[in-house]
Structure 1
Amino acid sequence: MEQFRNIGVIGREGNGVVETLNRLLTLLESRQLTVVLDDSVSALLPDHGLRVSPRRMMGETCDLIIVVGGDGSLLGAARSLTRHNAPVLGVNRGRLGFLTDISPGEIETQVGAVLDGEYVLEKRFLLDVEVLRGGERIGRGDALNDVVLNSGTSGHMMEFELYVDGEFVYRQRSDGLIVCTPTGSTAYSLSAGGPIMHPRLDAIAIVPMFPHTLSSRPIVIGGNSEVKMVVCDSNVVNPPVTCDGQVKITTQPGDIIYVRKKPHKLRLVHPIDHSFYASCRDKLGWGAHLPLEDSDD
């Protein structure tokens, strides 16, 4: 296992974040580790006396990045850090926390164990999206969870064509389409009726959003597939494309959207006892409301 000596800390303002950051920094400094803060954490902790680095540069100097916040914080960090191959560990200050799976009360034990080399490492792939207009690229982005094309207006359907690996799949009227990774299958896609995919799967899910045709259902394709969406000329709206709900590209009728797997993967660090199925039981409440069986006594 890798031994981590240079630790980057990323976070953003939120309920209890400063308290958790102080607790984390106390642990790291007690172990005489080199700590580098990103700009947003530095602003939350005046007079900290530690090194500060722009987030996009932290992967070059740090051998472990710890993100304090919710899954949204980790999603943003992942997109900027993946190309540096720096492993990322999440401390949850959000709600569900599928990606940030260490609770603030477990920092000393769980983060301490990771620093001692007791952890598991998962690789998660991201999606790359580019939007072409008249053959010229007018926008691009990447996503750890999902790429979403939607009408951009409440109660107004849009029309688009879908192709996979150059083969026509269908022309659809709906609120839009979600293209998600296994990581994103427990996020927005799940709310739209998409399948839950194990993180180790090399697959992409395509999930329609309220399609006008009731027979239209989610499709799971190979992870190396190329997804193409064409915004039909019949649209009277300019549909946005979003990446993890954080990056937005506005399209026009006639634009073409390509979605492909990125070559670089996120290296996600988990505590040694991490279980995807246990996370599902905990976060999604699987079996939480089952009645107890009657005793035969």
Structure 2
Amino acid sequence: MIRKVALVPNTGKSGALRCASRVAQILGNSGIECYAEPSRAEMFAALGGGVMPIELDALFKSCDAAIVFGGDGTVLSVAKRAAEADVPIIGVNFGHVGYITELEESEVDMLSRLATGDFRLEKRMMLDVSISKAGKQLFFSHAFNEAAITRGIITRLADFSVSCDGNLVSNYRADGLIIATPTGSTAYSMAAGGPVIDPSVEVIATTPVCSHSLELARSLVFGPNSVIKVNIPSARRAEAVLTVDGRAYFRINDNEVSVTVTKSQKYVSLIRLKNVPFATTLFKKFGVGNQG
């Protein structure tokens, strides 16, 4: 059962804060205490209160679960912090697709079930993404969706050398390379022509972006224990940029650095209140299989 919940509304989304305030009342009536970071707690106070302030650094560690009000981008921004604290999350959709979110605004009454434990947890794998040079780590981040290495502002193709477990897989000349989790397979990776992967399967998928090659210029899927390493021979003459989940980034302008991607020991735990098959989610969110 859940007794303390962190409320994380994207205040830039119309209606998200008001919905979160309503949820605070629903949960309060079920005996659940609600918390938010101080600036948002003040906003809740203006709508009737019921939400106590906790500094952001302690918010997730102090709660049993987090409820996110926003789109997939908002969920991504919360997911990694929640995973570090081993706190499950659930999303209420105020975005466009809402692939990672569980509920629509009209369904928030279902959240009262958190008080009785009437839900299940779905674990989603993450990636560990690091950049190193001569054995020294220069950058590290977890990825819930993907790590994307793309050419910089100069409109020149970048060179990518990809290896798996120390064995060369392929050399690409392309606009970029995406390394995705199953969850991220329906995001940037899918837009670049990558495979759609059931999130219950633990694999790592690589997809080149606009590859100028006829040889193995397609997506590859590796086992979860694989060590994927990417070198960028062209980095010195044409800068590349590593972006993780569309947020954390690192500029690569040295051809002696390498990007290493492995399965993380950390997982994102998603709270599920509905039993919706993966195929149904694809149909609903993306129109897959809709012929008319």
2:251 maps to 250
Moved over 4 A (4+): none
Residues in 1 aligned to 2:240 and 2:278: alpha-carbon distance in whole angstroms? 34
SS at match of 1:272: coil
SS at match of 1:61: coil
Match of 1:240 in 2: 241
The answer as to 2:53 corresponding to 1:52 is yes
- After superposition, the Cα gap between the structure-2 partners of 1:57 and 1:234, relative to the gap in structure 1 and judged at 3 Å, is closer
In the alignment, the residues of structure 1 paired with residue 219 and residue 154 of structure 2 have an alpha-carbon distance, to the nearest angstrom, of: 22
Residue by residue over 1:191-215, the C-alpha shift from the partner in whole angstroms, topping out at 9 and shown as x without a partner, is: 0001111111110100110100134
Secondary structure, aligned partner of 1:24: helix
**CA–CA distance in 2 between the matches of 1:239 and 1:77?**
27
Give the % identical residues.
28
Cα RMSD over matched residues? 1.8
Give the letter aligned to residue 132 of structure 2. Answer: L
**Residues 114 and 288 from structure 1, CA distance in 2 versus in 1: closer, same or farther, beyond 3 angstroms?**
farther
Gaps of 5+ in 1: 291-297
Which residue in the other structure is 1:231 paired with?
232
> After the TM superposition, which of the residue ranges 198-207 and 47-56 deviates more from structure 2?
47-56
Residue identity in the other structure for 2:287: G
Deviation string 1:148-188 (CA, Å, 9 cap, x unpaired) is: 00002374311121111111112211011000000101111
Using the TM superposition, give the Cα deviation of residue 101 of structure 1 relative to its aligned residue in structure 2, in angstroms. 2.0
Alignment of 1:11 with 2:9, yes or no, is: yes
| 1:271 matched residue in structure 2 | 273
Aligned counterpart, 1:123: 123
Q: How far is the alpha carbon of 1:30 from its aligned partner?
A: 1.6
Name the stretch that deviates more: 133-142 or 248-257: 133-142
How much does 1:46 deviate?
4.2
How many residues in Structure 1 have an aligned counterpart in Structure 2? 287
Contact (CA 8 Å) 2:158, 2:234: kept in 1 or not?
A: no
Return the offset for 1:43. 5.1
Aligned to 1:295: none
The question of 1:188 aligning with 2:197 is answered: no
Question: Letter of the aligned partner of 1:88 in structure 2?
Answer: I
**Most deviating of 35-44 and 249-258:** 35-44
1:22 aligns with 2:24: no
1:63-212 to 2 correspondence within 5 Å? 63-108=64-109, 110-153=110-153, 155-212=155-212
Q: CA deviation at 1:120?
A: 2.3
Identify the range of structure 1 (273-282 vs 42-51) with the bigger mean alpha-carbon deviation.
42-51
* Distance in 2 separating the partners of 1:168 and 1:40: 50
How far is the alpha carbon of 1:49 from its aligned partner? 5.8
Which residue pairs with 2:263 in the alignment?
261
The answer on 1:42 being equivalent to 2:44 is no
| Secondary structure of 2:60 counterpart | helix
In 2, the alpha carbon distance for the partners of 1:261 and 1:149 equals: 17
Preserved CA contact (<8 Å) 1:58 1:81? no
Is 2:45–2:51's contact at 8 Å kept on the other side of the alignment? no
Amino acid at match of 1:32: G
- For residues 135 and 218 of structure 1, do their structure 2 counterparts lie closer, same or farther at Cα, with a shift above 3 Å needed? same
**What secondary structure sits across from 2:213 in the alignment?**
coil
1:33 equivalent in alignment to 2:1: no
* TM-score normalised per structure 2: 0.92
Q: 1:234 to 1:262 in 2, by over 3 A?
A: closer
- Classify 1:89/1:249 alpha carbon distance in 2 versus 1 (closer, same or farther; 3 Å): same
8 Å Cα contact 2:34/2:50 also seen in 1:
no
Q: For 1:12-57, what per-residue CA distance to the aligned partner results, in whole angstroms no more than 9, with x for missing partners?
A: 2112112211211111122231111134533543443632223342
Match of 1:289 in 2: 291
Return the alpha-carbon distance in structure 1 between the equivalents of residues 194 and 42 of structure 2.
Answer: 39
1:119 Cα deviation from its structure 2 partner: 1.9
Separation in 2 of the partners of 1:286 and 1:40? 40
Distance 2:197 2:259 in 1: 24
Change (3 A) 1:53 1:154: farther
Paired with 1:46 and 1:153, the residues of 2 have a C-alpha distance of 45
Distance 2:202 2:226 in 1: 10
Kindly state the Cα deviation for residue 252 of structure 1 after the two structures are TM-superposed.
1.6
Q: Normalising by the residue count of structure 1, what TM-score does the alignment of the two structures yield?
A: 0.91
Extract unaligned runs of 5+ from structure 2. none
